Amino acid sequence: MSPELRDLIVQLCYLVASVLFVFSLKWMNSPQSARRGVMAGVWAMVLGVGGTLANPAVAVSSLPWIALAVMVGGIVGVPLSKVPLTAVPQRTALSHAFGGLAAGLVGTAKYYLWLHEGGEMLTGFRVFAITAEVILGFLTFTGSLMAAGKLQEFLPGRPITYRGQLIVNFLTLGGAIACAVALIINPQWSFLFPVLVILALAFGVMLIIPIGGADMPTVIALLNSYAGLSAVAMGFVLDNKLLIIAGALDGSSGLILSIIMCKAMNRSFSNVLFGAFGSVQESGGEDSGKTVKSANPAEAAEIMEQADTVVIVPGYGMAVAQAQHRVRELYDQLTKRGISVKFAIHPVAGRMPGHMNVLLAEADIPYDDLIEMDEINPEMPQVDVVLVLGANDVVNPAAKNNPKSPIHGMPIIEADRAKTVLAVKRSMKPGFAGIDNELYTLDKTLMVFGDAKAVVGEMAKTLSGDSGIH
């Protein structure tokens, strides 16, 4: 086969793969077509890898080593795909780390390879692309490892801050960018390259340590975007359009998700990245004198039994307690009685975008009953009972009423407008943001103290016992 023909085949493979990648994401627009989207993605990847192996630059003698590396990756990858769904946020963060590492290593290899060849290939544009790839890749690597460590609770989830942190962070990033600029001016100053790598690795760590658990949805989405952008930069380095297209799709996905997350918290990017949310302890002591009313799970179940409409607001607490299957039992008992049960999903509930939806889908709750915040809020005044399950800040009326509150302006699920509120909580300890929640002291609110899984299990048991008697 002539090299021209081989090259044509490679490019055609890349073209079809690019189209399939676009369809793969397009089919994610509805749960019915989404699995077709995964298949499109798999075929795109097969074509991309297959086309690359057909490239004349890939020697036959290297193929066994490449196959071995892919197999090792597969052996690690399969167990990583079987993690419990509550651990999906840390798995996602971990895979951003692998993606960043791969991009950083390829960029490093390309720089030294071209330097070794005499440096004619190291044009200003290519060095710009390489340094962008390496900075983004390595900061995504360490940053995602830190995020995964926080989510897995290997590391403390609370923000770690110190005096002068912002200045140190900016100096680190500035140093990395200065190295990049110097390398663009003179690619032969190779001593700067390891400095650039170390600064990028350090910046990834420093960027994530001041960020708290509740901001993880935004951070994970942002790291997703960086991983995509590093693939784009690699595409510029290697003159490869497939990498640019797939990376751009990934980069825009991460960008849109992080914008959605920021809007759902009424915060800006810079505030998430540099704000160290949760370290600001607003004095909320003034209403701590108010009394709360509490009920036991059986009483709460009876209240729900009398209702026509029940809305359940799940939060991270439900994920931590692994309560989703008990929630399904409760859902079954209530719907059996003709009670309408809906779930109100706040965009930032949980530790990553869409976290609650996946957990409830795992418990076989039909997705027609998972309702977005904006759709459910107008219906709230007609709702008989709201059951707040491990959610806190996303239902805190202070976001609307108290201009002094650190979460003021954040859109919330307006549980306080329902006729009765049942809030399942471990204790009266304030939520993640460390802010008192006046929802709990309202007259129409009953607190049900205990572990979400145990409480909801008891509620379901009470209801099933009832149906046995009648």
Would you please indicate which residues are annotated as catalytic (active-site) residues? 393
- Which residues in the 369-428 window bind another protein by CB under 8 A? 369-370, 372
C-beta of 129: minimal distance to another protein in Å? Answer: 9
* 352 contacts another protein (rule: CB under 8 A): yes
Question: Stretches 63-71, 390-398, 417-425, 443-451: which one binds another protein (CB under 8 A)?
Answer: 63-71
Which residues from 166-225 bind another protein, rule CB under 8 A? 220-221, 224
CB 156 within 8 A of CB 150: yes
From the list 159-167, 185-193, 356-364, 420-428, the region that binds another protein by CB under 8 A is: 356-364
**In 156-207, where do the E strands start and end?**
none
* The one segment of 269-277, 360-368, 382-390, 396-404 that binds another protein by CB under 8 A: 360-368
Between 243 and 447, CB nearer to another protein: 243
Place of tokens 């002291």: 441
Q: Is 74 in the site for another protein (CB under 8 A)?
A: yes
Site membership for another protein, residue 25 (CB under 8 A): yes
**What is 47-103 written as a DSSP string?**
HHHHHHHTSTTS-GGGHHHHHHHHHHHHHHHHHHTTS-GGGHHHHHHHHHHHHHHHH
Q: Which of 8, 12, 69, 181 binds another protein (CB under 8 A)?
A: 69
227 near another protein, judged by CB under 8 A: yes
**Burial tier of 270 (Cβ tally within 10 Å: 0-12, 13-18, 19+):** exposed
How far apart are CB 81 and another protein at their closest, in Å? 4
Which residue has 């690019």 as its token pair?
18
Does residue number 245 form part of the binding site for another protein (CB under 8 A)?
yes
* 28 to 38, 96, 421: CA distances (angstroms): 9, 20, 35
CA dist 443 and 421 (Å) reads: 9
Q: Binder to another protein among 149, 210, 212, 254 (CB under 8 A)?
A: 254
Four-residue CA torsion sign, 170, 178, 97, 346: positive
CB of 371 to another protein, least distance (A): 10
Question: What residues contact residue 317 under an 8 Å CB cut-off, 6+ apart?
Answer: 323, 389, 390, 391, 392, 424, 425, 426, 452
CB of 171 to another protein, least distance (A): 29
Asked if 98 interacts with another protein (CB under 8 A), we say yes
CB 214, min distance to another protein, A: 17
Site for another protein in 307-346 (CB under 8 A): 345
- Rounded to whole angstroms, the Cα distance separating 407 from 119 reads 53
Q: Which of residues 145-164 bind another protein (CB under 8 A)?
A: none
Tokens of 385: 């009972």
Is 55 a binding residue for another protein by CB under 8 A? The answer is yes
Beta bridge partners of 389: 314, 424
Among 90, 91, 216, 460, binds another protein (CB under 8 A): 91
Quick one: which of 7, 8, 12, 72 contacts another protein (CB under 8 A)? 72
**Distance between CA atoms of 462 and 126, rounded to whole angstroms?**
68
Among 86, 92, 131, 402, binds another protein (CB under 8 A): 92
